[in-house]
Protein backbone atom coordinates (compact mmCIF):
# COMPACT_ATOMS: atom_id res chain seq x y z
CA UNK A 1 0.00 0.00 0.00
CA UNK A 2 1.28 3.40 -0.92
CA UNK A 3 -0.96 6.04 0.60
CA UNK A 4 -4.23 6.89 2.31
CA UNK A 5 -6.27 6.09 -0.79
CA UNK A 6 -4.84 2.58 -0.98
CA UNK A 7 -5.51 2.03 2.71
CA UNK A 8 -9.05 3.41 2.45
CA UNK A 9 -9.80 1.23 -0.59
CA UNK A 10 -8.70 -1.87 1.32
CA UNK A 11 -10.86 -0.92 4.31
CA UNK A 12 -13.79 -0.04 2.04
CA UNK A 13 -13.54 -3.48 0.41
CA UNK A 14 -13.71 -5.14 3.82
CA UNK A 15 -16.71 -2.95 4.81
CA UNK A 16 -18.45 -3.91 1.56
CA UNK A 17 -17.78 -7.60 2.26
CA UNK A 18 -19.13 -7.44 5.82
CA UNK A 19 -22.07 -5.12 5.11
CA UNK A 20 -23.07 -7.38 2.25
CA UNK A 21 -23.75 -10.10 4.82
CA UNK A 22 -26.37 -8.12 6.74
CA UNK A 23 -29.76 -9.78 6.51
CA UNK A 24 -33.13 -8.41 7.56
CA UNK A 25 -32.93 -10.04 11.00
CA UNK A 26 -29.60 -8.30 11.75
CA UNK A 27 -30.75 -4.67 11.67
CA UNK A 28 -32.06 -4.68 15.25
CA UNK A 29 -29.19 -6.72 16.75
CA UNK A 30 -27.11 -4.95 19.39
CA UNK A 31 -23.57 -3.96 18.51
CA UNK A 32 -20.29 -3.53 20.33
CA UNK A 33 -21.18 0.18 20.58
CA UNK A 34 -23.28 0.80 23.68
CA UNK A 35 -26.89 1.63 22.86
CA UNK A 36 -26.54 1.07 19.11
CA UNK A 37 -28.12 -1.60 16.99
CA UNK A 38 -26.76 -2.62 13.57
CA UNK A 39 -28.88 0.00 11.79
CA UNK A 40 -27.55 2.75 14.08
CA UNK A 41 -23.98 1.58 13.48
CA UNK A 42 -24.35 1.51 9.69
CA UNK A 43 -26.09 4.90 9.68
CA UNK A 44 -23.30 6.37 11.80
CA UNK A 45 -20.56 4.94 9.59
CA UNK A 46 -22.23 6.22 6.43
CA UNK A 47 -22.77 9.66 7.99
CA UNK A 48 -19.07 10.04 8.78
CA UNK A 49 -17.88 8.59 5.48
CA UNK A 50 -20.13 11.03 3.59
CA UNK A 51 -19.12 13.96 5.78
CA UNK A 52 -15.42 13.16 5.46
CA UNK A 53 -15.86 12.61 1.76
CA UNK A 54 -17.41 16.05 1.43
CA UNK A 55 -14.35 17.59 3.07
CA UNK A 56 -11.97 15.56 0.90
CA UNK A 57 -13.53 16.59 -2.41
CA UNK A 58 -15.83 13.61 -2.98
CA UNK A 59 -18.97 15.76 -3.11
CA UNK A 60 -20.71 13.42 -0.69
CA UNK A 61 -23.08 14.44 2.06
CA UNK A 62 -24.82 12.77 4.99
CA UNK A 63 -27.89 10.80 3.98
CA UNK A 64 -26.25 9.14 0.99
CA UNK A 65 -25.75 5.39 0.90
CA UNK A 66 -22.63 3.30 0.42
CA UNK A 67 -23.23 2.76 -3.30
CA UNK A 68 -22.92 6.52 -3.74
CA UNK A 69 -20.28 7.23 -1.11
CA UNK A 70 -17.82 4.46 -1.94
CA UNK A 71 -17.02 5.33 -5.57
CA UNK A 72 -17.04 9.07 -4.88
CA UNK A 73 -14.65 8.76 -1.95
CA UNK A 74 -12.42 6.33 -3.86
CA UNK A 75 -12.16 8.90 -6.66
CA UNK A 76 -11.42 11.69 -4.17
CA UNK A 77 -8.66 9.66 -2.54
CA UNK A 78 -7.10 9.01 -5.95
CA UNK A 79 -6.32 12.73 -6.32
CA UNK A 80 -3.56 13.71 -3.86
CA UNK A 81 -4.50 17.39 -4.08
CA UNK A 82 -7.69 16.55 -2.13
CA UNK A 83 -5.49 15.85 0.89
CA UNK A 84 -3.77 19.24 0.82
CA UNK A 85 -4.61 22.04 3.20
CA UNK A 86 -6.90 22.16 6.20
CA UNK A 87 -10.54 21.29 6.74
CA UNK A 88 -12.65 24.08 8.22
CA UNK A 89 -15.43 21.58 8.98
CA UNK A 90 -13.02 19.68 11.24
CA UNK A 91 -11.75 22.65 13.22
CA UNK A 92 -8.95 23.41 10.80
CA UNK A 93 -7.47 19.91 11.03
CA UNK A 94 -5.14 19.06 8.14
CA UNK A 95 -6.99 17.10 5.46
CA UNK A 96 -4.42 14.31 5.87
CA UNK A 97 -5.70 13.97 9.45
CA UNK A 98 -9.32 13.95 8.26
CA UNK A 99 -8.38 11.16 5.84
CA UNK A 100 -6.92 9.20 8.75
CA UNK A 101 -10.11 9.65 10.77
CA UNK A 102 -12.27 8.58 7.83
CA UNK A 103 -10.15 5.46 7.40
CA UNK A 104 -10.02 4.69 11.12
CA UNK A 105 -13.75 5.20 11.61
CA UNK A 106 -14.64 2.81 8.80
CA UNK A 107 -12.03 0.28 9.92
CA UNK A 108 -13.19 0.13 13.54
CA UNK A 109 -16.85 0.10 12.58
CA UNK A 110 -16.18 -2.73 10.14
CA UNK A 111 -14.95 -4.74 13.13
CA UNK A 112 -17.99 -3.64 15.17
CA UNK A 113 -20.34 -4.70 12.38
CA UNK A 114 -18.62 -8.03 11.79
CA UNK A 115 -18.76 -8.86 15.49
CA UNK A 116 -22.40 -7.86 15.67
CA UNK A 117 -23.58 -10.04 12.78
CA UNK A 118 -21.17 -12.96 13.25
CA UNK A 119 -19.04 -12.25 10.16
CA UNK A 120 -15.26 -12.61 9.85
CA UNK A 121 -13.83 -9.70 11.85
CA UNK A 122 -10.27 -9.96 10.52
CA UNK A 123 -9.23 -6.49 9.41
CA UNK A 124 -6.61 -5.60 6.76
CA UNK A 125 -3.27 -5.72 8.62
CA UNK A 126 -1.68 -2.68 6.98
CA UNK A 127 -4.76 -0.59 7.72
CA UNK A 128 -4.75 -1.77 11.33
CA UNK A 129 -1.11 -0.82 11.83
CA UNK A 130 -1.36 2.61 10.20
CA UNK A 131 -4.63 3.42 12.00
CA UNK A 132 -3.26 2.45 15.41
CA UNK A 133 -0.14 4.52 14.81
CA UNK A 134 -2.23 7.51 13.70
CA UNK A 135 -4.70 7.29 16.57
CA UNK A 136 -1.90 7.06 19.12
CA UNK A 137 -0.71 10.48 17.91
CA UNK A 138 -4.02 12.22 18.60
CA UNK A 139 -4.47 14.25 21.77
CA UNK A 140 -6.29 12.22 24.42
CA UNK A 141 -8.91 14.94 24.93
CA UNK A 142 -9.91 14.60 21.26
CA UNK A 143 -9.63 10.82 21.10
CA UNK A 144 -11.64 10.12 24.24
CA UNK A 145 -14.37 12.68 23.66
CA UNK A 146 -18.05 11.73 23.57
CA UNK A 147 -18.03 11.57 19.76
CA UNK A 148 -14.93 9.42 19.48
CA UNK A 149 -13.74 6.52 21.63
CA UNK A 150 -14.04 5.29 25.19
CA UNK A 151 -11.16 4.53 27.53
CA UNK A 152 -8.67 1.95 26.29
CA UNK A 153 -9.00 -1.68 27.35
CA UNK A 154 -5.94 -3.53 28.66
CA UNK A 155 -4.48 -6.27 26.48
CA UNK A 156 -1.32 -8.34 26.77
CA UNK A 157 1.89 -6.91 25.36
CA UNK A 158 2.01 -9.78 22.88
CA UNK A 159 -1.55 -9.20 21.61
CA UNK A 160 -2.01 -8.94 17.85
CA UNK A 161 -1.95 -5.51 16.24
CA UNK A 162 -5.68 -5.83 15.58
CA UNK A 163 -6.42 -6.62 19.22
CA UNK A 164 -4.24 -3.68 20.29
CA UNK A 165 -6.17 -1.35 17.96
CA UNK A 166 -9.55 -2.61 19.09
CA UNK A 167 -8.53 -2.28 22.75
CA UNK A 168 -7.06 1.17 22.15
CA UNK A 169 -10.43 2.43 20.91
CA UNK A 170 -12.20 1.05 23.98
CA UNK A 171 -13.55 -2.25 22.75
CA UNK A 172 -12.95 -5.71 24.16
CA UNK A 173 -11.12 -7.73 21.48
Q: Which domains does the chain have, with CATH numbers?
A: 4-124 (1.20.120.450)
Beta bridge partner(s), residue 58: none
For 131-170, b/e burial (b = at least 16 CB within 10 A) is: bbebbeebeeeebeeeebbeebeebeeeeeebbbbbbbbb
Q: Is the pLDDT at 145 greater than 90, yes or no?
A: no
Q: List pLDDT tens digits, range 79-132.
A: 999 999 999 988 899 999 999 999 999 999 999 999 999 999 999 999 999 999
Reduced to 3 states (helix: H, G, I; strand: E, B; else coil), residue 168 is helix
Q: What is the per-residue pLDDT for 2?
A: 74
From first CA to last CA, the distance across the chain in angstroms is 25
- In angstroms, the CA 154 to CA 1 distance is 29
Amino acid sequence: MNGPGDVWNTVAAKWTEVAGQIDEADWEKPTTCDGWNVKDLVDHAMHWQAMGGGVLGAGTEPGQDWTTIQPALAAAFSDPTNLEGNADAFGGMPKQGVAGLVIGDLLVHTWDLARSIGADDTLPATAVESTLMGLQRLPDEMLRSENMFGPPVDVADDASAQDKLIAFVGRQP
